[in-house]
Amino acid sequence: MRLIALLALVLIFWLGTRRLRLIPGRGQSLVEMGLGFVRTNIAVELLGEKDGKRFLPLLTTIFFVVLFSNLTGVIPGLNIAGTSVIGLPLVLAVVAYVAFMYAGIKKNPGGFFRNALLPKGVPWPLYIILTPIEFISTFILRPITLTLRLMMNMFVGHIMLVLFFSATHFFFLSAPGAMKLIGVGSLGMGFAFTLFELMVSALQAYVFAVLTAVYIQLALAEDH
Amino acid sequence: MIRTVVTAAEETVNPLLSAPYDIIWSAVVFVVALLLFWKFALPKMQNLLDERAAAIEGGIKKAEEAQAEAAAALEKNNAELARAREEAAEIREKARANAASLEIELKEQANEEAARIVTNAQARIESERSAAASQLRHEVGTLALDLSEKVVGESMSDERASGIVDRFLADLETQEAGR
């Protein structure tokens, strides 16, 4: 699935950006819209012009890899999202983790860890509790939450679709008499959830990319 | 459908456990996608955006230039029009002045001509009159001579005769002047 998604992604963006023209055609407008969305709404908005540009390749890759892998969940014949097994979300979460650690350490190692572990404006005794909490939340939980949020969203979506479609199958073909009618309802639900999955796919891709950007932003921030 | 569901179910028996191939292929996917965006798609996109910005700026500049040119041309035209109007007014004024002076000149010429004609006529009249007078005088002299010859019966020498006539005429004139 992921390889198919990757193939689609490579084809679309390779062909889509191979011959760019000043005055865009329809296809080019779509590709530009996609890339422009990540550029302005995620990278530049959160990281600013300069750092946004620096991390743009990473954020774009995360966004589109997640999006395309998510969409395999609603494509007939593929039917399961590439992100609903743990491998891809984990890899991407590790990448995001490495990215914000790299950003913070390169910018100002002392400041990065002090900001993360010893937040300002707190009476010092509180650091006894606060620092371990911050440590766990920043350096341990972030990649885990990134991974699980994405994977579970897609996994559950997949389960829902399996449930509704297998129920429909059962009701239409195996259920006796009037029970067949229930199949109509379950098919409708499956249909609705397919559309819902489309939205979730885009939303989770957005969330993943935005969170990565936010982590990088926090790592780059002087104080907070 | 069932088959897909079954295989999917098998694949997701425990989604939290990850098989090594899962991680490896995910990493491959990520790296390929990253390289695609990093080295190819995004630089191209950036170039395009820069080019587009440049094109738009160029277009705006060009439009501004064209506008400035048009404004300059309009100003020039207006100036030329004003100058043409001034010139026309000047010409009209000059023509009027010319006409006035011409009229005066013509009048003068006409007056002169008239005066000349009058003078000529007077001169001619005068000369006619004097010619007539001298002829008359001559004829009167001849007549008087003939008459006196007939009266005296003898001819007088020409010299004497003309002397007598002249004296006679001078007497006549003095008599006339005396009257």
State pLDDT tens for residues B124-157: 999 998 988 888 888 887 887 787 777 676 666 6
- Cα atoms in the Cβ-side hemisphere of radius 13 Å centred on A75: 15
* Average pLDDT over every residue of A107-124: 78
- Give long-range contacts, CB 8 A cutoff, 24+ apart: A6-12: A6/A65, A6/A68, A6/B29, A6/B32, A6/B33, A8/A68, A9/A64, A9/A65, A9/A68, A9/B33, A9/B36, A10/B32, A10/B33, A10/B36
CB A212 within 8 A of CB A220: no
Helix A87-107 vs helix A45-71: angle between axes, to the nearest 10 degrees? 170
Note the ipTM here: 0.71
pLDDT at A108 over 80: no
* Average pLDDT over every residue of B86-94: 94
Among A141-145, A210-214, B108-112, B147-151, the minimum mean pLDDT is found in B147-151
Tell me which of B29, B35, B48 to substitute to probe the interface with A (most A C-beta atoms closer than 10 Å).
Answer: B29
Give residue-wise pLDDT tens across range A63-73. 988 888 888 87
* Average pLDDT over every residue of B76-102: 94
Q: How confident is the model at residue A56 (pLDDT cuts 50, 70, 90)?
A: confident
Question: A193 CB near a chain B CB, below 8 Å?
Answer: no
Percent of chain A topping pLDDT 70: 97
pLDDT at B16 over 70: no
pLDDT of residue B14: 57
pLDDT of residue A222: 67
CB A25 within 8 A of CB A190: no
Please, which residues 17-76 of chain B have a Cβ atom closer than 8 Å to chain A? Answer: 17-19, 22-23, 25-27, 29-30, 32-34, 36-38, 40-42, 44-45, 47-48, 51-52, 55
pLDDT at B102 over 80: yes
How far, rounded to the nearest angstrom, does the alpha carbon of residue B94 sit from its chain's CA centroid?
Answer: 12
Helices of type H across B36-157 = 42-152
Question: B13 CB near a chain A CB, below 8 Å?
Answer: no
Closest CA to A94 of A142, A43, A150, A151: A142
Chain A contacts of B48, Cβ < 8 Å?
Answer: 20-22, 32
* Average pLDDT over every residue of A145-158: 87
Residues 6+ apart with CB under 8 A from A105: A112
Q: Is A102 helix (H, G, I), strand (E, B) or coil?
A: helix
pLDDT of residue A151: 86
Binary contact (A17, B1; C-beta < 8 A): no
How far, rounded to the nearest angstrom, does the alpha carbon of residue B14 sit from its chain's CA centroid?
Answer: 101
Q: How confident is the model at residue B70 (pLDDT cuts 50, 70, 90)?
A: very high
pLDDT of residue B9: 47
Domain boundaries, chain A: 2-220
If you measure CA to CA, which chain B residue comes closest to A152? B15
pLDDT of residue A34: 85
CB A211 within 8 A of CB A93: no
Which of A13, A155, A162 minimises the CB distance to B36?
A13
pTM for the whole structure: 0.64
Give residue-wise pLDDT tens across range A16-40. 777 777 777 777 788 888 888 888 8
Domain boundaries, chain B: 21-148
If you measure CA to CA, which chain B residue comes closest to A57? B38
Q: How confident is the model at residue B6 (pLDDT cuts 50, 70, 90)?
A: very low
pLDDT of residue B1: 42
A26 or A95, which is more confident: A95
* Average pLDDT over every residue of A48-65: 86
Question: A125 CB near a chain B CB, below 8 Å?
Answer: no
Tell me which of B31, B36, B46, B56 to substitute to probe the interface with A (most A C-beta atoms closer than 10 Å).
Answer: B36
Environment class of residue A76 by beta-carbon count within 10 Å: exposed (0-12), middle (13-18) or buried (19+)? exposed
CB A150 within 8 A of CB A83: yes
Binary contact (A35, B41; C-beta < 8 A): yes
